[in-house]
């Protein structure tokens, strides 16, 4: 049975076969225009009826999200894509066959049924099919597509557990479906297929290399952010994202030099009386004396590092440190998505290791 937590109903869906009653209730909340936070394989989402402008506006209000930041529409069946977009190119169908359900979002020309509140007034819509049994069950139970950004306050680190959602959204959503920790831990890859050349807007769980295996050449969005007057074509492009409440510095360079630079910075800040938190790999954790150390995982397992990134960042943010120092990673495979999030979390505070 679901239980009430103040104003937010907590629905345990870690065992999906036992969550039928709760999922049914969550689906009914979506149908009548309410907000439901739910798990995906990437991060937790904050969902509303994608066909209802009024419901979608509640997402922006709950998050404090700028209205010119488009949302991703989540579906549970491939056929639903035809209700949302004007045309499905063959290359899109190839990608869908290989990567759906999974952490890939495709951007295509939208149909008029998709309200402008979802797309920030753009003529395109971002769509994906999540790979999480609770997410798929919720979408099917609701009987309609669900628009959902990450279920955190705008600008905060993304939530990868139900507890993270409660920290930011308690009382702001009617229900929270708890499906356990997210296994990918970084938001989905966003690929624009609305024009002739595929354009990678945001790296994520499906890597550039995997996309190239299917599509051949894929262009990569190389702007750190659109201009102030420009509407971003994908979530995560324009505004401050993923940032902790204390300053975070990303140290980039050769791994040995990165380690030595972080070690030096830890010592300097300790002498100044600053409490230092560090985000490091298992291979380097023993080299530092810091007030809080979060081990992301082994460099031999980049997926493990990506999955623990937001979880560890939130733990450091809550630990009482004055600043955070983070290692950098090679920008290939999932490392490209990880470095994208690290740079955004650091808000431009990059230190080059010497």
So what's the pLDDT on residue 2?
58
CATH number for position 310: 3.40.50.11030
Query: Based on the domain organization, do 166 and 104 belong to the same domain?
Result: yes
| Within a domain: 316 | yes
For each of the chain's 354 residues, which pLDDT tens digit applies? 455 556 899 999 999 999 999 999 999 999 999 999 999 999 999 999 999 999 999 999 999 998 889 999 999 999 999 999 999 999 999 999 999 999 999 999 999 999 999 999 999 999 999 999 999 999 999 999 999 999 999 989 999 999 999 999 999 999 999 999 999 999 999 999 999 899 999 999 999 999 999 999 999 987 554 344 444 554 555 445 788 999 999 999 999 999 999 999 999 999 999 999 999 999 999 898 899 999 999 999 999 999 999 999 999 999 999 999 999 999 999 999 999 999 999 999 999 998
So what's the pLDDT on residue 222?
77
So what's the pLDDT on residue 7?
81
Which of 139, 157, 144, 143 lies closest to 40, judged by CA? 139
So what's the pLDDT on residue 240?
53
Query: Based on the domain organization, do 197 and 276 belong to the same domain?
Result: no
Give the C-alpha separation, 77 to 101, whole Å: 9
Query: Based on the domain organization, do 214 and 252 belong to the same domain?
Result: no
So what's the pLDDT on residue 49?
98
User: Locate tokens 């997926």: which residue?
Assistant: 303
User: Locate tokens 């509407």: which residue?
Assistant: 231
So what's the pLDDT on residue 231?
45
So what's the pLDDT on residue 5?
52
Query: Based on the domain organization, do 31 and 174 belong to the same domain?
Result: yes
So what's the pLDDT on residue 230?
44
Q: What is the domain range of residue 141? A: 3-220
Query: Based on the domain organization, do 179 and 134 belong to the same domain?
Result: yes
Q: Based on the structure, what is the number of domains in the chain? A: 2
Q: Identify the domain boundary among 200, 220, 240.
A: 220
pTM: 0.91
C-beta separation of 191 from 200 below 8 A: yes
């Amino acid at each position: 049975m679901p239980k009430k937590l103040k104003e937010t109903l907590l629905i345990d869906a870690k065992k999906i076969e036992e969550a039928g009653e709760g999922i049914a209730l969550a689906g009914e909340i979506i149908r009548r225009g309410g907000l439901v936070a739910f798990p995906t394989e990437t991060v937790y989402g904050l969902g509303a009826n994608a066909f209802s402008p009024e419901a979608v506006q509640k997402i922006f209000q709950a998050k404090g999200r700028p209205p010119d930041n488009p949302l991703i529409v989540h579906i549970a069946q491939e056929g639903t894509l035809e209700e949302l977009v004007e045309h499905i190119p063959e290359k899109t169908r190839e990608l869908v066959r290989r990567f759906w359900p999974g952490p890939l979002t495709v951007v295509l020309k939208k149909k008029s049924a998709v309200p402008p509140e979802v797309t920030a007034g753009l003529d395109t819509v971002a769509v994906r099919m999540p790979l999480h049994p609770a997410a798929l069950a919720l979408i099917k139970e609701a009987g309609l597509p669900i628009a959902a950004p990450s279920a955190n306050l705008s600008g905060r680190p993304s939530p990868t557990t139900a507890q993270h959602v409660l920290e930011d959204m308690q009382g702001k959503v009617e229900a929270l479906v708890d499906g356990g920790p997210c296994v990918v831990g970084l938001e989905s890859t966003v690929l624009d297929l609305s024009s002739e050349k595929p354009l990678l807007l945001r790296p994520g769980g499906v890597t550039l290399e995997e996309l190239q295996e299917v599509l051949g050449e894929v262009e990569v969005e190389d702007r750190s952010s659109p201009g102030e007057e420009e509407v971003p074509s994908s979530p995560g492009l324009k505004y401050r994202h993923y940032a902790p409440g204390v300053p975070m510095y990303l140290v980039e360079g050769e791994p040995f030099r990165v380690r030595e630079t972080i070690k030096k910075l830890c010592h300097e800040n300790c002498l100044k009386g600053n409490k230092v938190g560090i985000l490091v790999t298992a291979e380097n954790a023993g080299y530092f004396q810091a007030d809080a150390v979060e081990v992301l995982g082994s460099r031999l397992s980049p997926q493990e590092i990506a999955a623990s990134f937001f979880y560890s960042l939130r733990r450091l943010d809550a630990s009482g440190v004055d600043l955070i120092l983070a290692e950098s990673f090679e920008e290939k495979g999932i490392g490209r998505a990880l470095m994208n999030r690290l740079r955004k979390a650091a808000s431009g505070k990059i230190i080059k290791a010497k």
